[in-house]
Amino acid sequence: MSLTEWRTFVTVCRLGSLSAAAVELGYTQSAVSRQIAALERRLGEPLVHRHARGVRPTPAGEAFRYHALAALNEADRAVRAVRDVRDGALSRPLAVGATPSLAAGVVPAAVRSLLDTAGPVRWSLVPGLSAQLHDRVLDGDLDVAVVTDAPPGLPDDSRLERRCLGMDEMVVVLPVGHPRAGHGRVHIQELAHETWVEDNDGSAALLRQHAARAGVTARIDLTAADLPGKTALVATGHAIALVPGVLTCALRADLTTVDLVDPPTRGIHAITPRRDPHPCAATLLDHLATAFRSVRPARAARRTAGTDAGRPEQP
């Protein structure tokens, strides 16, 4: 298969349009359509649905898109590595993976500290769910992955080193102005009548377990494709959601949070391969631990700001 066809397919999925992909890639629309059709013939499955407003990937197409994107990113890194050798830059690039909530703040802060102390290092950030990132470290695609032990948990694999960075309390995210904003810690029973939205099975399991311990049921009536979609549904008043505490410092301005009594928690871990670790990996783990600890005062400040926003203005 041609990587050109793979790149065309990934671009079509990202833009949702054959014509828009053709413009970005510099092809004709018919050339883009032929490349997609050729890829579908080789794979023996339709990869896109065509509809009035454009195209979207089929379930098979979505599965292929994930791996195709990883392959294209790796191919791009391979080309850059050759050019770096040509130009005399022989440093090994650092590939870092992180769950979406950790990629939103903790990991970029830690890498910034690494670069400030170690000097220039070529690096990349790959978001994903913990199980996916675990497998990519094993496959050699990632040098470090920052993951969680939320359900179903992390496998115990002797090929990997695991360092616990700390425990993260889950919090409830609300739209600014929600009646519960600014009320301090709340019991889950006080939110039993609310509609909840979830974006992954691990977070949903933590919410259900926490509610069950309190003798209530959390009504997860909405599902989002990802974390931004989840918080968008909360911001527009459709639901409330359980989110990681580490995300609080990176929430959009029209959201606030409330802490739960006896909240569900999850462990935050950094995993690295035992064999041939990246030279910067150990230093990065120290910076990750520091960055994780630093989000706690940021969380407190954010809660205060959200509380003030949620209260009516005083005369």
The separation between CA 204 and the C-alpha centre of its own chain, rounded to angstroms, equals: 16
271 or 70, higher pLDDT = 271
DSSP sequence for 225-246: SSHHHHHHHHHTTS-BEEEEGG
Q: Which domains, and CATH codes, for the chain?
A: 3-75 (1.10.10.10), 91-166+267-297 (3.40.190.10), 169-264+301-308 (3.40.190.10)
**Residue 287 host element (H or E):** helix 281-310
Helices (H), 88-220: 100-103, 106-118, 130-138, 201-213
Q: Are 157 and 241 in contact (CB under 8 A)?
A: no
Q: What is the DSSP letter of 259?
A: P
Q: What is the pLDDT of residue 165?
A: 94
| Mean pLDDT, range 162-178, rounded to an integer | 93
Q: What is the pLDDT of residue 296?
A: 59
Residue 131 has pLDDT above 70, yes or no: yes
Please give the backbone phi and psi of residue 190, each rounded to the nearest 5 degrees, phi first.
Answer: -70, -15
Q: What is the pLDDT of residue 304?
A: 38
Which residues are 255's β-sheet partners? 175
Residue 26 backbone zone (phi > 0: left; psi -120 to 50: alpha; other: beta) = left
Q: Are 227 and 201 in contact (CB under 8 A)?
A: no
Question: Mean pLDDT score of the chain, rounded to an integer?
Answer: 88
**Residue showing tokens 């397919």:** 9
Residue 147 has pLDDT above 80, yes or no: yes
**pTM confidence score:** 0.67
The per-residue pLDDT for range 190-231, each reduced to its tens digit, is 998 999 999 988 899 999 999 999 999 999 999 998 889 999
The per-residue pLDDT for range 264-299, each reduced to its tens digit, is 999 999 999 998 899 899 999 999 999 998 875 444
23 or 79, higher pLDDT = 23
Query: Could you report how far apart the first and last alpha carbons of the chain are, in Å?
Result: 69
Q: How much of the chain exceeds pLDDT 70, in percent? A: 91
Q: What is the pLDDT of residue 87?
A: 65
Which residues are 123's β-sheet partners? 94
Rounded Cα distance, 106 and 104, in Å: 7
The per-residue pLDDT for range 81-115, each reduced to its tens digit, is 777 666 655 567 899 999 999 999 999 999 999 99
Rounded Cα distance, 163 and 137, in Å: 14
Q: What is the pLDDT of residue 88?
A: 58
**CA dist 109 → 12, 149, 223, 279 (Å):** 32, 22, 30, 19
Q: Are 283 and 117 in contact (CB under 8 A)?
A: yes
